[in-house]
């Protein structure tokens, strides 16, 4: 029952990353939304989710994992209801943000709750089931969303999960295990607050820059505020015992490099999906069901390549390096091919498949690199970092690409600019991450870490 509840939550959280792309044309038509407003509909969820991961985990460890998880589920359900009933675009964006807050509150303690419910010998299979539920949600989200949007309208994509979440909430109150971090560990309130707000000004500046102008005092000011908040967060977490998130892990080239690669992978994942939605539904005129079916080859490619990536991981550092290189090349090509080719369905479908191949190769291997580059006693830091890097990359990717899209005079030109912007971002991020990985010694080999090199507070597992 515990696994069913946690896996169901992962399923719905993943669906909400992708289903809204299917509904964007209908939302655009209903509210007369611009490209930047559509970007807010997508990014409000991702930014809120990403921002809540670090403070959510800290609060769950201090006050109880079960309570935070169930509060997040209740908020997610209420926000879904609000989104389904929204009569204006600001209310819909607010609902998406509240859904992201609820999702972050559920995701932060989910792994720990799963681990508490199972004996050590059973945890690997249980966590694998939990992760598979999330992957299934990513794959089925566009298809289910397409069927729902075509049959009964985009609002029901928000409303249908509400009764299921209600049943899961009641069941969770009865069966989820209680647990928290070690007693007496203080909550890093300042660090959690900085993590909560640091990403928002940067995303806002990227999305609104085409409308306000890159030299606008608002855009420059938001970018400056975001940079200062990030610096303040890093400074705070590097000097506070115990921190909400131990940023000293990023001093290791293997950790920093793999995190940048994960960041790039979700720039591609969310960015290609955002552009393909406009390309296939707005320009090519595909209905939501046909669009959802167009994403199935991407999901299959992701699944097949993730299995291949797992096998290459077992081959050691050389296999990992080959996997990451091939995956990054596929992700760059996923943007570059439709940018250089005419705007047609076959080229867009090719880009989606390449994106699935690239992410399938990159994500499992890079996540394993982050975990293997840190000692087991830092499992909390390494797990949080691999998740935050991906969702932050998705939020920044959509904002950056929407900014390029909105800067063009026509939609066709905007798509081309958006694809080229995505290719450049993945190329720079991937090259930087790869260079850091090349500097690392013994990547992929778990072993004892000398105390003078660790610099990582053991913390609770």
Domain C-terminal end among 186, 205, 220: 186
CA dihedral sign, ordered 91, 7, 275, 323: positive
The pairs formed by 224-228 with CB atoms below 8 angstroms and a separation of 24 or more are: 225/201, 226/198, 226/199, 226/200, 226/201, 226/202, 227/202
Whether the CB-CB separation of 52 and 173 falls below 8 Å is answered with no
Whether residues 125 and 112 fall in one domain: yes
DSSP characters over 100-131:
HHHHHHHHHHHHHHHHHHS-HHHHHHHHHHHH
Rounded Cα gap, residues 373 and 379, in angstroms: 10
**Per-residue DSSP letter, 195:** H
DSSP characters over 27-59:
HHHHHT--HHHHHHHHHHHHHHHHHHHHHHHHH
Whether residues 377 and 234 fall in one domain: no
Burial level of 347, CB count in 10 A (0-12/13-18/19+)?
middle
Whether residues 142 and 39 fall in one domain: yes
- Tally of domains in the chain: 3
CATH assignment at residue 64 = 1.20.1250.20
DSSP characters over 402-455:
HHHHHTSSSHHHHHHHHHHHHHHHHHHHHHHHHHHHHH-SSTT------HHHH-
Q: Give residue 402's domain range.
A: 248-461
Whether residues 360 and 229 fall in one domain: no
Whether residues 366 and 422 fall in one domain: yes
Rounded Cα gap, residues 7 and 110, in angstroms: 9
Whether residues 351 and 461 fall in one domain: yes
Whether residues 354 and 445 fall in one domain: yes
Q: What is the pLDDT of residue 450?
A: 37
Whether residues 332 and 451 fall in one domain: yes
Tell which residue, 320, 328, 396, has the closest CA to residue 359.
328
Whether residues 72 and 198 fall in one domain: no
Whether residues 28 and 98 fall in one domain: yes
User: How much is the pTM?
Assistant: 0.76
Whether residues 230 and 165 fall in one domain: no
Instruction: Return averaged pLDDT per consecutive 10 residues of the chain, 461 residues in all.
Output: 88 80 86 85 85 78 85 94 93 93 86 75 68 72 82 88 91 85 63 79 82 84 91 84 75 88 92 87 80 81 76 70 91 93 84 91 81 64 74 84 83 89 94 88 42 37 33
Whether residues 365 and 221 fall in one domain: no
Left (φ > 0), alpha (ψ -120 to 50) or beta: where does 32 sit?
Answer: left
Rounded Cα gap, residues 199 and 396, in angstroms: 9
């Amino acid at each position: 029952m515990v696994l069913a509840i946690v896996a169901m939550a992962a399923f719905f959280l993943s669906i909400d990353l992708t289903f809204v792309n299917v509904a964007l044309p209908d939302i655009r038509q209903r509210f007369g939304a611009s490209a930047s407003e559509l970007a807010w509909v997508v990014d409000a969820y991702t930014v809120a989710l990403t921002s809540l991961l670090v403070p959510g985990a800290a609060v769950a460890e201090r006050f109880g994992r079960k309570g935070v998880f169930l509060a997040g589920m209740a908020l997610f359900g209420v926000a879904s209801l609000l989104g389904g009933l929204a009569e204006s675009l600001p209310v819909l964006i607010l609902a998406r943000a509240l859904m992201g807050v609820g999702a972050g509150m559920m995701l932060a303690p989910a792994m720990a709750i799963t681990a508490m419910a199972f004996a050590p010998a059973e945890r690997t299979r249980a966590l694998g089931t939990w992760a598979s539920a999330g992957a299934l949600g990513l794959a089925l989200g566009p298809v289910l969303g397409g069927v729902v949007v075509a049959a009964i309208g985009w609002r029901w994509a928000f409303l249908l999960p509400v009764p299921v979440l209600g049943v899961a909430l009641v069941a969770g109150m009865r069966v989820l295990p209680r647990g928290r971090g070690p007693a007496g560990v203080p909550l890093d309130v300042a660090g959690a607050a900085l993590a909560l707000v640091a990403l928002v000004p940067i995303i806002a500046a990227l999305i609104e820059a085409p409308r306000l102008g890159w030299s606008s005092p608002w855009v420059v000011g938001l970018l400056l505020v975001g940079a200062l908040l990030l610096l303040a967060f890093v400074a705070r977490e590097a000097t506070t015992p115990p921190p909400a998130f131990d940023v000293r892990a990023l001093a290791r080239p293997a950790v920093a490099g793999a995190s940048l690669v994960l960041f790039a992978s979700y720039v591609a994942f969310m960015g290609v999906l955002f552009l393909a939605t406009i390309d296939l539904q707005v320009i090519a005129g595909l209905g939501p069901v046909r669009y959802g079916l167009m994403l199935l080859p991407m999901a299959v490619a992701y699944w097949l390549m993730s299995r291949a990536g797992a096998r290459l991981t077992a081959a050691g550092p050389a296999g990992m390096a080959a996997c990451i290189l091939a995956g990054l090349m596929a992700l760059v090509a996923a943007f570059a091919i439709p940018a250089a080719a005419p705007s047609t369905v076959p080229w867009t479908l090719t880009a989606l498949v390449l994106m699935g191949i690239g992410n399938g190769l990159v994500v499992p291997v890079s996540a394993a690199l982050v975990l293997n580059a840190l000692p087991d006693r830092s499992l909390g830091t390494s797990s949080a970092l691999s998740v935050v890097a991906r969702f932050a990359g998705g939020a920044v990717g959509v904002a950056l690409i929407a900014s390029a899209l909105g800067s063009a005079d026509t939609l066709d030109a905007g798509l081309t600019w958006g694809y080229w912007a995505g290719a450049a971002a993945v190329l720079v991020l991937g090259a930087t991450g790869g260079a850091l990985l090349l500097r690392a010694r013994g990547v992929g080999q778990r072993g004892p870490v000398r105390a003078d090199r660790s610099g990582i507070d053991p913390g609770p597992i």
